[in-house]
A and B are shown apart, each in its own frame.
Chain A
């Protein structure tokens, strides 16, 4: 009896031990993570993720391969050269949506992640809007780390208060506000267009305003025609906005231009919510935000995500990393630092500052549409041509020519008009 008891005790101890040895402590080796998060809140957020990962898997060496510049163009140049040269990084940052699916999934460079989504239960904790964005031909292809909102109207609260203004809810109100400000010598609308994409960003929010969520989405699938009069209206609105803009916009990046708002010399702007992080880094907290006029209830989303390239060298380590990325802990840690919001809906809101809390509430109730200038709504070729057309429009505001060009660009992208 004694020996039996002893044996069963030994066996049960061994059983408990073997069950509780975390599978991950056996992970070894390296993981190469490729991104363009080199500085500021993004680098801090990335580091926070690495810390979580390293705590779980202390034996894995993280190689942080980053390339700055060109809003990711330099990184993309390196990435594409490497992928074509047969040397894929283990995982890489990519905008969720068409930028990933059309560039990499469609062409067979990625592995689908549907099983991972199911086993981790992610389909239950992320809003349908983002799941739609990462979904392509029956599978999920990337794991979103964060969500940024693109259709935000930022304004200097003091300027508005001093002039008795409230954030405009329609474009008619917008232009009334703009006229008042212009008369008082304040730049009504502030933007920097040096990098070429900012005008395209503003334009996409106007498209959402004029076409509504479904109409806007239809532009990228062919349901809505680019020749529609609502698109004309959007172009006319953009043209009019540019009559209220700071004249040196082509010399400044968006953040350089925002000095006007900080100094109280400029009033409003439209930009993604990374602007909040910028304001904080400059020590400016008296800024206000509202949805871009006529887009209340719509969340223009973009997301940074990571996927699983075929043939990467450390596949298991990557899968472990993806799990960290989409865990509650990971998403909270990253987004607090970066200034974006988690894609998951079940995180602890109270950890986040004021702007992000309100964004997270909107994320759960608004209609979600994919951003085009940030790679979610359309393939890269289309995005580049769209960006170039609007960039030219800023210098030559010829509405009919530009609309025709947009139609041509859509046709070339394979979407019948």
Chain B
């Protein structure tokens, strides 16, 4: 097998995968009678046209990056965290609680405290499935999904009860939301006229942190070993269950921090629907980014683009914004299938033989 063929083979498969994903998306678009090319054009390019839209993409990319970093840590340690949605909601509650309890504290104290509270609340929500998996072999796929639903209910309960804005009570409009949080936790918006906030630097910092943790420390090495092959790791004296729990706590804490950053930077009060699917999109981002911080950052930009673009298709071509979920689902399926195809040496061998066969036939015809 020539090296040229190997590269050609891989590139062809990746192109075919992209086409397959777009084709499935097109089928759905054609079913609702939308203009397929226009829709894809609006989703992919329209948000890049103005600075305001571009910053909106970046704002979506911030929580996506943070969540995906956490999910990649869990995934590399051999545990799939689909509970980021719930962990993020709990993080928002933790941050809100601190901000409501100590509104007078100066910013340098309150902001770190609030983010830490978010991380801790999310971490606890990640610890539960982690310990259940480690000690009782409960599938984390099911427990994290269930914890998402539970967190969503706790979230609405808190917004309707203890955290409810007193102004809502007196005015009687009853919108479940907290009061505007103290200025002490606001992240600065550094670009005039946009909502882009300093959380973006925090996200980049966390990406660096995860890179260092996973590839430059003993801890990270053991985590990756536990994920790559639990049996081999156990044989090597690594306590696999312990690292599973740690990985889930980190993963949950990151989702919690994403929630903290999101309300400190964008909403500045706890309202309903903040998490809005970020937890699930984070899984796609983590996979799309190859479970590596250097891939996750561009991937989160790309999916931020999809989310903003899908909002625009609703207005511009009448395609419901749910389309973004369709695309994300297809992308997951295509990525996992493509990964397996690329990792299959037998298949490559077979294609190589066919390829040679075709070459020979050509020679015969020419002769």
Pairing of A with B = no
Residues of B with Cβ closer than 8 Å to A? Answer: none
